Structure 1
Amino acid sequence: MKDIRPLIPLLVTAGILIGGNGLQGTFISLRALQEGFSTTMIGVVGAGYNIGFAIGCIYVTRLIRQVGHIRAFAGLAAIASVASLAMLLVIHPAAWFCLRLAQGLCFAGLFATVESWLNARVTNENRARTLSIYRFVDLSAGTIAQYTIPLVGLGGFDLFAIIAMALSLSLVPISFADRTSPEPPKHVQFNVKALWHISPLATIGCIVVGLTNSTFRSLGPIYAEGIGMSVTAIATFMSIGIFAGVVLQYPLGHYSDKLDRRTIILLAAIGAAISGLFLSFVAGSSELLNFIGIFFFGAFAMPLYSLCSAHANDHAAPGQHALVSAGTLFFWSCGAVVGPMFASVLLDHFGPRALFTYTVVVLCLFIIYTTLRMRVRNAVPAEERRYRFRSLLRTSTYFTKLAAPPTPEKPKDKK
């Protein structure tokens, strides 16, 4: 435990950020609905966050290199905190779009700062334990944060203040506990054309994940409210969808390492499509049926990003894995920008049932494309793969490095 202790402040900071970000995503959608925003405008506001996140992924390394980890984190946390409070002062879709864009940019930078800092501190001996703790922090913070909404309530200024307080408190652990700053991270290269040449299927798959999963995170609360769920039930609905993503991550990943990875991608997409179809039929039915449906949807849909990333890495040449990590995150961001905006228009015209109908259509198109790609290109034999499945968070490109297997120690020269 001694080797983990120095990393605890960074892990606590990450937990506060993950919880605050997860709370904000659900709360902003529901509060916007309460303020009279149309579903289309709520989708546009949600897309604003993803636009900012995509921009942040590209430019954050430059900021960290110029001012260092601590200053970058402090400045971005301050801006994100101010943006949260400003949303209460100016209640208008255009203002909220701009403020959510700023928050997306800041959170991309905040996660990149924490995760690059963790990567600089982690060693081969504590890498696996650190990753396990990080995933536990992600799951527990993201789930618990949802229940702050029914506990505090949607109205008033309370939740805006809590989010701003969380962002401010995230500064405390690393400010008081770590007096050093690691070397600035290397510049992350974004070459979207290169990723397409490495794996067209992985590229399309990451876009599809953005189009579907991010749309669920942005508009899932609107769907749940539209079919008559209480605020507590909405929090449960979103929590189940997030938690379920862990259930099949490792079984699917395990078999994807042994079989043609595209077969597992295909099975996951089919499972998500069937679950989405079930949800589109049970919309307006009992809460239990919706909870069951979202559990299976999350279990199959959430691992798709990690599976597509692993497939891209199967075809990547040595030295291209950082490029793949940056590219998959960028293409996911592109899908996450378009998905909420397009789906929100459908919800405005056809009601809450349209959310998962849209999701099923997108997944079915991806299933067709995956089937065609399997006929065009042979699979990489399992024994020739240099890469094994890793369960990835879409927080920053540095999480891929944290999830990487330990690098072999160089033999010491004998004197």
Structure 2
Amino acid sequence: MCKTETEGQGAAPAIGGNMRDILASIAALMISISLLLLGNGLQGTLIGIRAQIEGFSTAMTGFLMSGYFIGHILGALYVPRMVGFVGHIRVFAGLASLASAAALLHIVWIEPYFWAFLRGLTGACLAGLYLVTESWLNGRADNSNRGKIFSTYMVINLASVGLGQQLMNLADPAGFHLFVLGSVLFSLAVIPVALMRAPTPPIAETVRMKIKTLLKTSPVGTTGAFIGGLTNGAFWGMGPVYAYQSGLTTAQIAAFMSAVVFGGMALQWPLGFLSDRTDRRNVIALIAGGIAATGLVMALTGSGVIWLLMMAAFFFGGFLLTLGALCTAHINDHVAQDEFVPASGTILLVVGLGAVAGPYLAALLMQALGAAALFYAISLLTAALLVYVLYARSIRTAPEKSGEFVPASGAMGGVVSLIDPRRTYKNVRDKTRAARKKAARAVKSAAVKTARKTVKRKKKKNPAPTDEKTNPESSK
């Protein structure tokens, strides 16, 4: 049986040193993920606009955009098994190539159900690529540089998605050039990883707790995570469609989507810092109110006052992209340390289910009530969350903080990032348990050897009586 690269190499050693050394050690990974997210940022906006150009109904557009999030959930569930069989680099290359092919196939057959399948395929590929990249980063980080590595990753991630929107300006979305560009970016992302010489860490087994248990443990966090997935999925799936139907030009649509992403990049850390120093529910309530208010402004503004729309989009993105991460932090405040990983797996599922439903439900409302219904619906949902959080705060005291806020690194879809410093706890716990078992076996083995030696000494000092001594008459 052939060894995979993971079998042939040990776990990646953690890196220390100054920021320059840290960045140099992860440069190849960062270049690859940047290229991937440039392509994915471009494609996510392009597909929604092109679907409208091709005459797809709004409801059908929402259906095919939901396919991305279905694929994202499936990819997060099944890609770890692939990594176990063939290793990180082969999986990365295979998934990036598959995403590249999917981008080109959109212009081979323009059919909504086929596009829905391709969106699902792309979502599965991107989920797997996130997982492989982030497991590498987890393996390369230690307690001294984890914050720096994660911060760098978050900034590059969101900046790439934001800049990807601006690639819309390079060609007419009604043509084929932008699909080719997205495919090329996915293909180029393979090169830095394929040429990288670095040990690859194992991916920890994914475990989950029951959704009912998570809801009972933290009702505010779980409800907020689901609404965060629902609203993020609705926006990232149908936001470009809203902009197109509102009469924005291609350049204005690109600026609108970029404003949302850069708002998220600018406001996540300040809001997270605030949540670490007060009751997180207060900040969740602030964010829910902020989403509701800015969403209402965008619904009422449309293309009438562009500067107001862009300003509202910036703050809308800052609040929207922080909601899921903050709800995750609130849930982790309620769970025991050995439940961080099971809770994280369930949060990923809860947010993902919301993200799957979001685009299609929003599309049905938009088809019935008009483009502005997208933001009216988002505002209504988050206003309801605000009321619920204020009620929950009045009947339950705030728990002690169990860790600091971890910003979301994924802009596309708002699905909870697979990376989380607390995930490394499972590896530490497993190693500790293994060491204890090994020590117990060693003690047991030493005890058995000692007992055997004692028995041998006793036999030498007190030899067993012979037959003649025990039966003197038998010799006569």
Tell me if 1:220 matches 2:239: yes
CA distance in 2, matches of 1:182, 1:139: 25
CA distance in 2, matches of 1:307, 1:126: 22
Q: Which of these residues, 359, 380, 398, is aligned with residue 361 of structure 1? A: 380
CA distance in 1, matches of 2:346, 2:423: 17
Q: Which residue number in structure 2 is paired with residue 399 of structure 1?
A: 419
CA distance in 2, matches of 1:165, 1:375: 53
Q: Which of these residues, 64, 81, 97, is aligned with residue 100 of structure 2? A: 81
Q: 1:183 to 1:249 in 2, by over 3 A?
A: closer
Q: Which amino acid aligns with 1:176?
A: L
Q: Which amino acid aligns with 1:345?
A: L
Q: Which residue number in structure 2 is paired with residue 191 of structure 1?
A: 209
Q: Which residue number in structure 2 is paired with residue 342 of structure 1?
A: 361
Q: 1:402 to 1:137 in 2, by over 3 A?
A: farther
CA distance in 1, matches of 2:387, 2:144: 43
Shift of 1:368: 2.3
Q: 1:113 to 1:207 in 2, by over 3 A?
A: same
Q: 1:63 to 1:349 in 2, by over 3 A?
A: same
Shift of 1:404: 8.2
Q: Secondary structure at the match of 1:248?
A: helix
- Which deviations, in whole Å up to 9, do the C-alpha atoms of 1:2-35 show, x marking residues without a partner? 2431211011111111211111110110111111
CA distance in 2, matches of 1:301, 1:244: 9
CA distance in 1, matches of 2:312, 2:234: 16
Q: Is the Cα contact below 8 Å between 2:341 and 2:423 reproduced in 1?
A: no
Tell me if 1:271 matches 2:293: no
Q: Which residue number in structure 1 is paired with residue 462 of structure 2?
A: none
Q: Which of these residues, 394, 406, 427, is aligned with residue 390 of structure 1? A: 406
- Which deviations, in whole Å up to 9, do the C-alpha atoms of 1:295-329 show, x marking residues without a partner? 22112222111110110010010111122222222
Unaligned 5+ residue runs, structure 1?
409-415
Q: Using the TM superposition, name which of 42-51 and 144-153 deviates more.
A: 144-153
Q: Is the Cα contact below 8 Å between 1:279 and 1:293 reproduced in 2?
A: yes
Shift of 1:274: 1.0
CA distance in 2, matches of 1:376, 1:192: 24
Q: Secondary structure at the match of 1:4?
A: helix
Alignment of 1:281-292 (within 5 A): 281-292=300-311
Shift of 1:392: 2.0
Q: Which residue number in structure 2 is paired with residue 229 of structure 1?
A: 248
Q: 1:3 to 1:370 in 2, by over 3 A?
A: closer
Q: Which of these residues, 304, 308, 328, is aligned with residue 323 of structure 2? A: 304
TM-score, scaled relative to structure 1: 0.92
Q: Is the Cα contact below 8 Å between 1:7 and 1:118 reproduced in 2?
A: yes
Tell me if 1:249 matches 2:268: yes
Shift of 1:46: 0.7
Alignment of 1:52-131 (within 5 A): 52-131=71-150
CA distance in 1, matches of 2:262, 2:134: 22
Tell me if 1:15 matches 2:29: no
Q: Is the Cα contact below 8 Å between 2:275 and 2:405 reproduced in 1?
A: yes
Q: Using the TM superposition, name which of 180-189 and 157-166 deviates more.
A: 180-189
Shift of 1:261: 0.9
Q: Is the Cα contact below 8 Å between 1:127 and 1:402 reproduced in 2?
A: no
Q: Is the Cα contact below 8 Å between 2:32 and 2:192 reproduced in 1?
A: yes
Shift of 1:246: 2.5
Shift of 1:58: 1.7
Q: Which amino acid aligns with 1:184?
A: P
CA distance in 1, matches of 2:242, 2:91: 37
Q: Which of these residues, 55, 60, 79, is aligned with residue 36 of structure 1? A: 55
Q: Is the Cα contact below 8 Å between 1:68 and 1:181 reproduced in 2?
A: no
Percent of residue pairs bearing the same amino acid type: 36
Q: Which residue number in structure 1 is paired with residue 44 of structure 2?
A: 25
Q: Is the Cα contact below 8 Å between 2:93 and 2:194 reproduced in 1?
A: no
Q: Which residue number in structure 1 is paired with residue 444 of structure 2?
A: none
Q: Which residue number in structure 2 is paired with residue 164 of structure 1?
A: 183
Shift of 1:396: 6.4
Q: Which residue number in structure 1 is paired with residue 166 of structure 2?
A: 147
- Which deviations, in whole Å up to 9, do the C-alpha atoms of 1:316-368 show, x marking residues without a partner? 10111122222222111111111110110111121111111111111122122
Structure 1 or 2, whichever has the larger Rg, is 2
TM-score, scaled relative to structure 2: 0.81
Unaligned 5+ residue runs, structure 2?
1-19, 429-476
Q: Which amino acid aligns with 2:26?
A: L
CA RMSD of superposed structures (Å):
2.0
Q: Which amino acid aligns with 1:241?
A: V
Q: 1:192 to 1:169 in 2, by over 3 A?
A: farther
Q: Which amino acid aligns with 2:205?
A: H
CA distance in 1, matches of 2:333, 2:252: 41
Q: 1:4 to 1:402 in 2, by over 3 A?
A: farther
Q: Which residue number in structure 2 is paired with residue 411 of structure 1?
A: none
Q: How many residues end up aligned between the 2 structures?
A: 403
